[in-house]
């Protein structure tokens, strides 16, 4: 990616797209080389370097998969807004109690009834290396105008802003 300012602007755009999406899909690689996805809860935040944090139990199967194959993908979707984000990078288990307390939110008690004192509570840190997003106009009028313009001009319809971001 270009300058630090460019990267900061790109991460800000990702933050905007992800801020109201509370669930995403985390994809890992199992020992047979198959992709495995599962929903994860997120607080809609992304760090300045593009990293994400998820609460988990340290002995969950996804953790074992990440310990064997650390390449992961995290995807976010807001179909009602025609917004989609895909992040790829590396996952790692973090058991730092200070970081767990720093990131803890009361809503997480639904999954961790004992809060930060839950046995085996841990964090998954996703260090994002690449990101991609699609952001289309949400209204049907905007979409119709875009498609009509492409018919008149003979150019391919481009209903969504699409960008690839390298955060390494």
Spatial separation of the C-alpha atoms in residues 84 and 162, rounded to whole Å: 9
Sort 64 into a burial class: Cβ within 10 Å, 0-12 / 13-18 / 19+.
Answer: middle
Spatial separation of the C-alpha atoms in residues 54 and 108, rounded to whole Å: 10
Residue 159 banded pLDDT, cuts 50, 70, 90: low
- Domain range 4-166, its CATH number among 3.40.50.720, 2.30.110.10, 3.40.30.10, 3.40.630.30: 2.30.110.10
pTM: 0.81
Mean pLDDT of the chain: 86
Q: What are phi and psi of 15, to 5 degrees?
A: -60, -45
Mean pLDDT of 57-74: 97
80-98 residue pLDDT tens: 888 999 999 999 999 999 9
């Amino acid at each position: 990616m270009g300058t630090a300012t460019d990267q900061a602007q790109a991460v800000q755009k990702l933050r905007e797209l992800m801020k109201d999406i509370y669930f995403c899909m985390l994809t890992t690689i199992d020992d047979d080389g198959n992709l495995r996805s599962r929903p994860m809860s997120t607080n809609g935040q992304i760090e300045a370097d593009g990293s994400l944090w998820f609460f988990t139990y340290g002995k969950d199967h996804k953790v074992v998969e990440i310990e064997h194959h650390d390449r992961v993908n995290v995807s976010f979707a807001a179909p009602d807004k025609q917004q989609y984000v895909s992040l790829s990078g590396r996952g790692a288990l973090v058991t730092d109690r200070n970081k767990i307390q720093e990131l803890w939110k009361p809503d997480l008690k639904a999954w961790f009834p004992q809060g930060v004192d839950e046995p085996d509570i841990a964090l998954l840190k996703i260090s994002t290396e690449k990101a991609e997003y699609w952001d289309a106009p949400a209204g049907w009028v905007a979409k119709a105008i875009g498609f009509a313009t492409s018919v008149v001009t003979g150019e391919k319809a481009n209903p969504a802003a699409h960008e690839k971001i390298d955060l390494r």
